[in-house]
Amino acid sequence: MPWWGWMALGAALLGAEIAIATDFWLATVGAAAMTMGLALTLVEAPRAWIQWILFAALAVLFNAVVRRRIRSKPPGLDPELIGESGIALAAIEPGAQGPVELRGSTWQARNVGGEALAARAPVRVTAVRGIVLEVTR
């Protein structure tokens, strides 16, 4: 494949990533295709099967390195919520989850304290696990 073919394939894959949002899978494969295109502008193009093997190796390498760095931080809430005060909207038993109002929004929270929280009881955020707040009295 000529260098411009690899560049077109890479651009199409990057555009598809924007339209479909495949969690950076298509972006890393598109970057590998564009890297192949750039490399072929510098060196004479090898046989097609060698190009495809190099492309596959680049795609695997980019997925292993780039996606790991991009996705290294687990999704969740900022730690700035730790220490914030809120109000339990329903009774929450120890270890159970329930709704909590915090900063004018309703959040899912787990009672990590040793006693049950009554409805309308004040709570304090002690940790954030993904999108669930851990709260105590």
Other CB atoms within 10 Å distance of the CB of residue 117: 24
Query: Which CATH number is 88's domain given?
Result: 2.40.50.140
Please give the pLDDT value at position 77. 55
* Final residue before a domain boundary, out of 47, 70, 93: 70
What would the pLDDT profile of 43-86 be if each residue is shown by its tens digit?
A: 998 899 999 999 999 999 998 888 777 666 555 556 678 888 99
Q: Quote the domain boundaries for residue 57.
A: 3-70
Give yes or no: residues 85 and 112 share one domain. yes
Closest CA to 30 of 45, 8, 50: 8
- Decide if pLDDT at 88 tops 70: yes
Give yes or no: residues 55 and 112 share one domain. no
The number of distinct structural domains making up the chain is 2
Evaluate if pTM is beyond 0.85. no
| CA pseudo-torsion sign 16, 57, 32, 54 | negative
Q: Whole-angstrom Cα distance, residue 31 to residue 66?
A: 10
The pair of structure tokens assigned to 97 is: 């989850």
Give yes or no: residues 66 and 121 share one domain. no
Please give the pLDDT value at position 22. 78
Give yes or no: residues 90 and 48 share one domain. no
Give yes or no: residues 89 and 117 share one domain. yes
- Quick one: what percent of the chain has pLDDT higher than 90? 58
Amino acid (1-letter code) at residue 45: A
- Decide if pLDDT at 105 tops 60: yes
Give yes or no: residues 50 and 28 share one domain. yes
* Final residue before a domain boundary, out of 70, 99, 120: 70
* Final residue before a domain boundary, out of 16, 45, 70: 70
